[in-house]
Amino acid sequence: MKNHQPTSAAAPIMDAAAIQRALKRIAHEIIEQNADLKSVVLAGIPLRGVEIARRIAEFVREIAKIDVGTGVIDVAMHRDDVGTRAQLPVVRASKLPVSLETRTLIVVDDVLFTGRTVRAALDAISSFGRPARVQLAALIDRGHRELPIRADYVGKNLPTAAREQIQVRLQETDGEPDAVWLLKE
Amino acid sequence: MNTRWSRKDLLGLRELSADEINFILETADAFKEIGTREIKKVPALRGKTLINFFIEPSTRTRTSFELAAFRLSADVINISASASSLTKGETLKDTARNLEALHADILVLRHSSAGAPQFLAERLKSSVINAGDGAHEHPTQGLLDLYTIREKRGKIANLHVVIVGDILFSRVARSNIFGLTKLGARVTLVGPSTLVPREFEKLGVTVSHKIEDVLPSADVMNLLRIQHERQRKEYFPGIGEYTALFGLTRERAKLLKPECLIMHPGPINRGVEIDSEVADGLQSVILDQVTNGLAVRMAVLYLCGGIAS
Residues 37-96 of B with CB under 8 A from A: 37-45, 47-48, 72
- CA A95 to chain B, closest CA, distance in angstroms equals 8
In terms of pLDDT, which residue wins out, B279 or B96? B279
Q: Do B41 and A127 touch (CB under 8 A)?
A: yes
- Tell me what pLDDT residue A84 has: 62
- CA B132 to chain A, closest CA, distance in angstroms equals 26
- For A54-75, the pLDDT digits (tens) are 999 999 999 999 999 999 999 9
Q: Do B3 and A90 touch (CB under 8 A)?
A: yes
User: Which of A85, A92, A128 faces B308 most closely, judged by CB atoms?
Assistant: A85
Segment holding B109, helix H or strand E: strand B106-111
Kindly identify which residue of chain B lies nearest to residue A46, measuring between CA atoms. Answer: B1
Q: How many CB pairs lie under 8 A apart between chains A and B?
A: 77
- CA B150 to chain A, closest CA, distance in angstroms equals 17
pLDDT at A5 over 60: no
Side-by-side strand order, sheet with A179-183: A14-15, A179-183, A165-169
Q: Do B42 and A127 touch (CB under 8 A)?
A: yes
pTM of the model as a whole: 0.89
User: Which of A85, A88, A124 faces B303 most closely, judged by CB atoms?
Assistant: A88
- For A137-151, the pLDDT digits (tens) are 999 999 999 999 999
- Tell me what pLDDT residue B2 has: 57
Kindly identify which residue of chain B lies nearest to residue A121, measuring between CA atoms. Answer: B42
- CA A40 to chain B, closest CA, distance in angstroms equals 20
Cβ-Cβ contacts under 8 Å, B40 against chain A: 127
Q: Do B302 and A124 touch (CB under 8 A)?
A: no
Q: Do B29 and A127 touch (CB under 8 A)?
A: no
| Average pLDDT of every residue of chain A | 91
* Cα–Cα nearest to B212, from B173, B243, B253, B176: B253
Amino acid in position B114? A
- CA A77 to chain B, closest CA, distance in angstroms equals 5
* Confidence tier at A4 by pLDDT (50, 70, 90): low
User: Which of B1, B42, B305 faces A77 most closely, judged by CB atoms?
Assistant: B42
* Confidence tier at B88 by pLDDT (50, 70, 90): confident
B contact test, residue of A73, A74, A77, A111 with most B CBs within 10 A: A77
- Does the CB of B19 have a partner CB in chain A at under 8 Å? no
- For B110-154, the pLDDT digits (tens) are 999 999 999 999 999 999 999 999 999 999 999 999 999 999 999
Burial class (CB in 10 A: 0-12, 13-18, 19+), B103: exposed
Mean pLDDT, residues B208-220 taken together: 97
- Does the CB of B106 have a partner CB in chain A at under 8 Å? no
CA atoms in the 13 A half-sphere facing the CB of B161? 32
Task: Please check whether residue A129 is in contact with residue A100, taking contact to mean a CB–CB distance below 8 angstroms.
Answer: yes
Reported ipTM: 0.77
Write out the DSSP string of B113-138. STTHHHHHHTT-SSEEEEEEETTTB-
Cβ-Cβ contacts under 8 Å, B33 against chain A: 93-95
pLDDT at A90 over 70: yes
The sign of the torsion formed by the CA atoms of B119, B103, A87, B138 equals: negative
- Tell me what pLDDT residue B82 has: 73
Cβ-Cβ contacts under 8 Å, A92 against chain B: 29-30
- Tell me what pLDDT residue A6 has: 52
- Tell me what pLDDT residue A1 has: 45
User: Which of A46, A83, A127 faces B306 most closely, judged by CB atoms?
Assistant: A83
Task: Please check whether residue A71 is in contact with residue A103, taking contact to mean a CB–CB distance below 8 angstroms.
Answer: no
Relative orientation angle of helices B60-71 and B286-305, to the nearest 10 degrees: 50
Distance CA A137, CA A45 (A): 11
Cβ-Cβ contacts under 8 Å, B28 against chain A: none
Among chain A, residues having any CB pair with chain B shorter than 8 Å are: 1, 46-47, 74, 76-80, 82-95, 123-124, 126-129
Q: Do A86 and B31 touch (CB under 8 A)?
A: no
- Tell me what pLDDT residue B306 has: 83
Q: Residue A126: which residues within 8 A CB-CB, separation 6 or more?
A: B39
* Confidence tier at A131 by pLDDT (50, 70, 90): very high
pLDDT at A172 over 80: yes
Radius of gyration in angstroms for the set of CA atoms belonging to chain B, rounded to a whole number: 19
- Does the CB of B303 have a partner CB in chain A at under 8 Å? yes
- CA B43 to chain A, closest CA, distance in angstroms equals 6
